[in-house]
Structure 1
């Protein structure tokens, strides 16, 4: 079913009373809680970045370690550092290899679809290189993931994409192992209804630890100014009334307004993901907020110790239903996300949970909580009845976004020189953001689009912005 996405309200600002995710609960000793580098805001900065999740932190990092680093970078965060989607996701860095090829090919063409797959695989390697280079302790595990179908409808869809990817020259040999034998798929995945599965490289990590390390590194070594609890309420241009053809636009300055004062910037980066349309109204209907839900689960003995799962996984059924999970090697806790198919109304899938009809990351969907509580026993063979202390530990929500192409917006905002966006990750940001941020930093430092290594379809062009229809599974 299609919904006219522009009919949804502006996302507003992040709510002041969000829930705590598993990651945020285990970061209460962080020195970044309530952190403000300076007592008051600086009057100006070369670059202001709005948002301190992985998009904001990684963009700051690649700008500051680059050969043409700005003199000053300021990050403004509405709540705590990394308190948005990055601090609430499933800890899964999992590239799409062949999975989205059919859909991307239909929208963008074969060559661009192949570039997206290559880009995501390169991002996995970039993440590993970054973590090793900066010696980041973030529980990073590099291994493989299962893409499993638990009914024939989902299997047919995956097989079509796999075959198209193969026929179009996509690299599968040595990357993807496809298993179509039902008994073998069940044995490998331990899923009682598995029809087929494919395995390929992926990783898991503690996302808050990654971001907090990058932020602290940029603060201590590169002079980053981080201001938490400083929501941005408006971003205006000093030359907003001028024609787009006016040559003075090359010297445009941006005024960033917060409750604590205003900051003038030469360049501003909107690393605002689901909240982007609040500050950039042209994205209303292009980036539409929604609510996702995750759970931390203490495994039963049959999935503990030497019997832990060896791979992360995502399992699919029907047209577009899926859940995803990792089992953390460090403590064995399972992080399970999804359950949207169990929500009772479309508004819940879009996360419209507060009084204004806007999605937030505070309240939870009770139906999804119950679903996540029992999902391991429903789908996985050998999952025991939970004893005291096992099973659902905690569940939480996060705010992400939906739109038709499931491709992020990265680059200069057309008609607004000096304004850049890195947003719209559709719950798939860990598989793309590091490379997106590095590419954006290259662009901001004077490089060409070709220099960025970003797929052309990521650009926030006017043509892309005109397509405001969004498909949901309801």
Structure 2
């Protein structure tokens, strides 16, 4: 995302009264609500993980199931478990398979750009493997996604990445199906303004249920201690005055941290910042390197022409000039459409960039009225036959023969969530340079479902004593001082 300002204020802590997303509305029976494994906080632990979204949950899972697992892991969450970006996203696990390649290549070079894209496909396979092995019931659907351009400017940009990746020997054949004939693209996608489209592997899921299962597994089998409604207000290095040990900040071998909360302090050997948009509150060096951004999603009850046999058989993203885009999934389980985007409808991007308000209230900036109105009309604006009473695939049906929407049909509800954006559009994963024993997995740029599981597995490898090469992650993800300064 383009940052309109050079600096932004500290994000502070997550607000105390967030709205409920579609996912959170439908999991009010969750045993994680109000979860505190122990009545009081332990005075010391091996590893503290700050944040209980997919980043925190997956890191805990791979740490605790690894070959060199820590003796104790404590997870601290400011609100309810999975009440941040993961519990509010669109449920879309959609890798970039060619998108953005030439920008990555310009910034990082050819080899690293290839690694970034390969990592996202590996993440999709890893998520599929994890869900199968642990038998996780999270409405996981593995299929394909359309990436559709609805004007020529967007089409030219997508084609540039596609063609450059192909010329560089990237994995295009058998992975991406490119359709450049506009009429064919319109027929495939059911989008009236389609210029071109590409189809490739992707998935959708119920994100909260994935995190719920991972956390319950860690709690019941591996001894995780989860403490909700326990915000972390400060993390500081603990100095050592042991005999023979200089009185200075902890070294790699003796790293110790003090984690401060309103309920007391905890000492930890290692600390993991799975804090995404809120990272700079605890790690000031990330101020301006990870910037919060408010997003909106809507749940939509489909019309008859997009129900039953007329349901969409792929997830999709559609884009137009100036990097504007929306995305949607139609849930195979109930047909509900989850539509996210609409940022192009706000007068100024600063209305959402830098914002940490996910209250869902229009009167306090917790939701943008322009985006709500946009999401209400997006399906009929872009998709052919949305209001037709029968199947849109019936070629004899005249699109002008519209039916009146039935009560309960169409726009159901919209909500907000806070994402964390970086200036180079990739996350920060690894050891925080200059702070031994401090690790980060944050800055997912609204694209976390396509990256996090693999990032978490790699980070767990690093925390457990592995080298960076053991993680399999792109080198550019590391939070080095040079990367922080390059902004």
TM range (shorter): over 0.9
Q: Does 1:389 align with 2:408?
A: yes
Q: Does 1:412 align with 2:415?
A: no
Report the equivalent of 2:316: 313
- Decide which of 429, 443, 446 is 2:465's aligned counterpart: 446
Superposed displacement of residue 359, structure 1? 4.3
Q: Does 1:424 align with 2:427?
A: no
Q: Work out the CA distance in 2 between the residues paired with 1:247 and 1:229.
A: 29
Superposed displacement of residue 388, structure 1? 1.2
| Partner-residue secondary structure (3-state), 2:328 | strand
Q: Does 1:340 align with 2:343?
A: yes
Q: Deviations over 1:100-151 (max 9, x none)?
A: 1011001100000000111100000000000000000000000000000000
Alignment of 1:49-68 (within 5 A): 49-68=49-68
| Partner-residue secondary structure (3-state), 1:430 | helix
Q: Deviations over 1:183-231 (max 9, x none)?
A: 1000000000000000000000000000000000000000000000000
What TM-score, normalized by structure 1, do the two folds share?
0.95
Aligned length: 463
Q: Does 1:71 align with 2:71?
A: yes
Q: Work out the CA distance in 1 between the residues paired with 2:247 and 2:159.
A: 47
CA contact (8 A) 1:350 1:359 kept: no
Report the equivalent of 2:265: 262
Q: Does 1:31 align with 2:31?
A: yes
Decide which structure has the larger Cα Rg and report it: 2
Q: Work out the CA distance in 1 between the residues paired with 2:134 and 2:204.
A: 17
Superposed displacement of residue 7, structure 1? 2.2
Cα 1:246/1:38, change in 2 over 3 Å: closer
Q: Does 1:81 align with 2:81?
A: yes
Report the equivalent of 1:100: 100
State the superposition RMSD in angstroms.
1.7
Q: Does 1:274 align with 2:293?
A: no
Superposed displacement of residue 351, structure 1? 5.2
Report the equivalent of 1:472: none
Q: Work out the CA distance in 1 between the residues paired with 2:2 and 2:307.
A: 42
Report the equivalent of 1:323: 326
CA contact (8 A) 2:343 2:349 kept: no
CA contact (8 A) 2:154 2:320 kept: yes
Structure 1 stretches (4+) deviating beyond 6 angstroms?
Answer: 240-247
Q: Work out the CA distance in 2 between the residues paired with 1:245 and 1:393.
A: 57
Q: 5+ unaligned residues in a row in structure 2: which ranges?
A: 361-365, 388-403
Cα 1:167/1:344, change in 2 over 3 Å: same
Superposed displacement of residue 387, structure 1? 2.2
CA contact (8 A) 2:139 2:333 kept: yes
Report the equivalent of 2:114: 114
Superposed displacement of residue 344, structure 1? 1.8
What TM-score, normalized by structure 2, do the two folds share?
0.93
Q: Deviations over 1:294-313 (max 9, x none)?
A: 00000000000010000000
Report the equivalent of 1:355: none
Q: 5+ unaligned residues in a row in structure 1: which ranges?
A: 353-357, 469-474
